[in-house]
Structure 1
Amino acid sequence: MVITSRIIVKKPVKQVWDFFDNPDNMHLWLKDFKHFEPISGKQGEVGAKAHHVYENKGKKFILEEEITKKVPYKEFSGILRHRSMESIMLNTFEDVGHDRTSLVCTVDTKFKSLPFKLFGSMMKKSFQKRQDADLNRLKECLELES
């Protein structure tokens, strides 16, 4: 299941990248995000692993992130793993002029468990809605800054 979201942020690419790349900002734009826990490697560099901890309705959900590619101000790629799924993410940043940045987020999710495999296609709209909302919160955070 592939989901792509696009936004234009009215800020320079460096500012958008720096905000996106800072784990201390994740709770500001990722719904239900609680905290970030480094596991191995040098934080923020290719090969580094970390837990993303989410909580919704009292239930904790942990994703393991592994950074697979990082080209500052251009691309941030990685793998998000959970016992029921694995998602390959690609985030691209492009200066589109006039202090505006295009951010495109593509996530390709493969489900591991039978129930998710059976119902995965029915969940695509809810995954798309969540991803779009997260990126719009990121945009709002950045555009509200002075």
Structure 2
Amino acid sequence: MEYTQEIVVNVPRDRFIELFDDPSLLSQWQKGLLSFEPLTGTPGQNGATSKLVYKRGRGTLEMVETIVRRQLPDHFDGSYDAKGVHNICNNQFIDVDGTSTKWVAHNIFELKGFMKVIGLLFGSSFKKESYKSMEAFKNFAETTPRG
């Protein structure tokens, strides 16, 4: 499964990156995030891995993030691995007249085992969840005052 989504966030790109790139702020816009634990390397840097744990329904979802490409302020790409799911997310951040940032996210999901069935039955929910996360960041970025 593969798709691209985009959203315009009404903050300058430097502010967008400042908020997007701070692991201590993740829980303020990533719904259900319980923990972010660096595993290897420096968090957010090329090759670094981190474990993220999310509350999902009555249980939890654990995934390992690997930073694939960090070329800020233009690009930030990562892979995300959970049971039966490998997700590659390529993010591009485009300056819009110095006042806003266009975020383009290209996702590729590779599903294995039971998750293939889930993907066939509920594939559109992957897109919806991805976009909800982008909207949550937009709301967070646009309402967070500079510190």
Shift of 1:82: 1.3
Give the CA deviation at 1:57. 2.9
- Asked if the contact 2:13–2:98 (Cα under 8 Å) also holds between the matched residues in 1, the reply is no
| Code of the aligned partner of 2:17 | W
SS of aligned partner of 1:11? coil
Spell out, residue by residue over 1:10-31, the C-alpha distance to the aligned partner (whole angstroms, 9 max, x if none).
1110111111111111112222
What secondary structure does 1:73 align onto? coil
- Note the residue ranges of structure 1 that are not aligned, 5 or more in a row: none
Are 1:125 and 2:124 an aligned pair?
yes
Q: What is the percent sequence identity of the aligned residues?
A: 26
Q: Deviations over 1:34-88 (max 9, x none)?
A: 1100000122210100001101233121100000100111111011011211011
Task: Report the residue type matching 2:40 in the other structure.
Answer: S
CA displacement at 1:4 relative to structure 2: 2.1
Superposed displacement of residue 145, structure 1: 2.4
Distance in 2 of aligned mates of 1:141 and 1:133: 12
The answer for the alignment partner of 1:81 in structure 2 is: 81
Q: Matches of 1:59 and 1:20 in 2, distance apart? A: 26
Rounded Cα–Cα distance in structure 2 between residues aligned with 1:64 and 1:119: 20
Calculate the TM-score normalised by the size of structure 1.
0.93
1:81-123 deviation digits (Å, cap 9, x = unpaired):
112110111111010114110001121000111x222341332
Q: Distance in 2 between matches of 1:90 and 1:124?
A: 19
Under a length normalisation based on structure 2, what TM-score does the superposition of the two structures give? Answer: 0.92
- What secondary structure is seen at the aligned counterpart in 2 of 1:133? helix
1:1-146, aligned counterparts within 5 Å? 1-113=1-113, 115-146=114-145
Q: Which runs of 5+ in 2 are unaligned?
A: none
Q: Which amino acid aligns with 2:105?
A: C
Distance 1:27 1:64 in 2: 16
Q: Distance between the aligned counterparts of 1:10 and 1:120, measured in 2?
A: 33
How many Å separate the matches in 2 of 1:62 and 1:100?
A: 33
Runs of 4+ aligned residues of structure 1 deviating over 4 Å after TM superposition are: none
Aligned length: 145
Aligned alpha-carbon RMSD (Å): 1.3
